[in-house]
Structure 1
Amino acid sequence: MPKKTIKRMMPDHQTIKENKYLKVFGDLLHNANLWHLNRHSVAKAFAVGLFFAFIPVPFQMVLSAGIAIIVHANLPLSIALVWITNPLTMPFIFYACYLVGVWVLGVPEQEFAFQASWQWILDSLSTIGPAFLVGCGLLAIIFSILGYFVIHSFWRYQTIKAWKSRPHR
């Protein structure tokens, strides 16, 4: 069952409740529905987490947690999925976002060399920024919808398979 696999990989809910950045949500974190694993909460968590994984803003985890609370998605899973874009994968994912944005907008691809400075970021907003942001938005929507339906369908398939194998036990 996917439930056992996900439960094994999820962070402890007490650790999440004590996170200093998530304290802004206060008593909302005590809603028991945020911690249950079922087909609907996990599918919503994948949609929320994957969406914010592609959005290039600081505090993606806090944004993901806020939306997960609103839509009653599994909170630990929503937060954990944001880390798909981590320091190792971020350059590849965000470059792919840029290429998708270039393709969608029909603009020529521009050469650039990343520099870790605010000045470079501000200068790049006018040159590569539009294509990058369009690509990020589009891939965020696509992967969140895809993640929702894939997880929902896979969970349902596993449940049906488990029910059909019951008489044989």
Structure 2
Amino acid sequence: MIRYLRLKLHQIGRATKRSTFLNKYFPRFRDRVYWAGDRASFARAGFIGAFCMMLPVPFQMVLGSIFAYYARANIPLATALAWITNPLTMWPIWYGGYIFGTWILGTPDLFHASQGIVIGSTEWFENVFPHIWQPFFIGNSTLGLIFGTTLYVIIGHFNWHFLRNLFSKKNRA
């Protein structure tokens, strides 16, 4: 099973590296640091992926990949970490960020005061969102910075041997 997954990852990587669009607009895309990486590349990717995971915006995965490109970080790791927030997990994660934001700002939780109003409706955006947007964005951004920094330290200092062994050529047999 692991050999199959590595083969598929290799095939996807090859097809991605051959993309004319990516090679035209991102000329350094073939550089090894984006795909194999080193300690610093993995640590930066951990920060970027965890930060983008918490951002309450659509397409965090694409955003994480673009940030990883410009930060010379490992693109697959940054993309995979940003993928943690998916349609099933984003509501509890973002609600937790909102609660954290209300705690930081010392504001009441107004999310539950909107009972009976459909989330995402025009009425919700007119009556509820203007009151909750600050704790929502500040809480999620702050948690993204905290998680990203924690992951940066863990990957950069404590867990390097595990990652090196995982991606080494000796284990690909």
Normalised TM-score (structure 1): 0.75
Q: 1:164 matched to which residue of 2?
A: none
Q: 1:93 matched to which residue of 2?
A: 93
Does the CA contact (< 8 Å) of 1:22 and 1:62 recur in 2? no
Does the CA contact (< 8 Å) of 1:39 and 1:155 recur in 2? no
CA distance in 2, matches of 1:93, 1:64: 17
Q: 2:151 matched to which residue of 1?
A: 147
CA distance in 1, matches of 2:76, 2:100: 30
CA distance in 2, matches of 1:18, 1:94: 36
1:24-61 superposed Cα distances (whole Å, 9 cap, x missing partner): 84333222221113222111111000010101112222
**Using a 3 Å threshold, how does the CA distance of structure 1 residues 156 and 23 change in structure 2: closer, same or farther?**
closer
> Pairwise CA RMSD of aligned residues?
3.1
CA distance in 1, matches of 2:54, 2:22: 20
**Using a 3 Å threshold, how does the CA distance of structure 1 residues 146 and 121 change in structure 2: closer, same or farther?**
farther
Does the CA contact (< 8 Å) of 2:50 and 2:81 recur in 1? yes
Does the CA contact (< 8 Å) of 1:13 and 1:76 recur in 2? no
Q: 1:41 matched to which residue of 2?
A: 41
Number of positions where the alignment pairs a residue of Structure 1 with one of Structure 2: 153
CA distance in 2, matches of 1:95, 1:24: 39
Q: Counterpart of 1:27 in 2: which secondary structure?
A: coil
Q: Return the offset for 1:119.
A: 5.7
Q: 2:54 matched to which residue of 1?
A: 54
Amino-acid identity (%): 34
CA distance in 2, matches of 1:18, 1:128: 45
CA distance in 1, matches of 2:122, 2:36: 41
Does the CA contact (< 8 Å) of 1:53 and 1:84 recur in 2? yes
Structure 1 unpaired stretches of 5+ = 160-169
Normalised TM-score (structure 2): 0.73
CA distance in 1, matches of 2:79, 2:121: 27
CA distance in 1, matches of 2:23, 2:123: 32
Q: Counterpart of 2:107 in 1: which secondary structure?
A: coil
Structure 2 unpaired stretches of 5+ = 164-173
Which runs of structure 2 are paired with 1:2-13 in the superposition (5 Å)?
11=9, 12-13=12-13
**Using a 3 Å threshold, how does the CA distance of structure 1 residues 16 and 84 change in structure 2: closer, same or farther?**
farther
Give the partner amino acid of 2:142: L
Does the CA contact (< 8 Å) of 2:37 and 2:73 recur in 1? no
The answer to whether 1:75 aligns with 2:65 is no
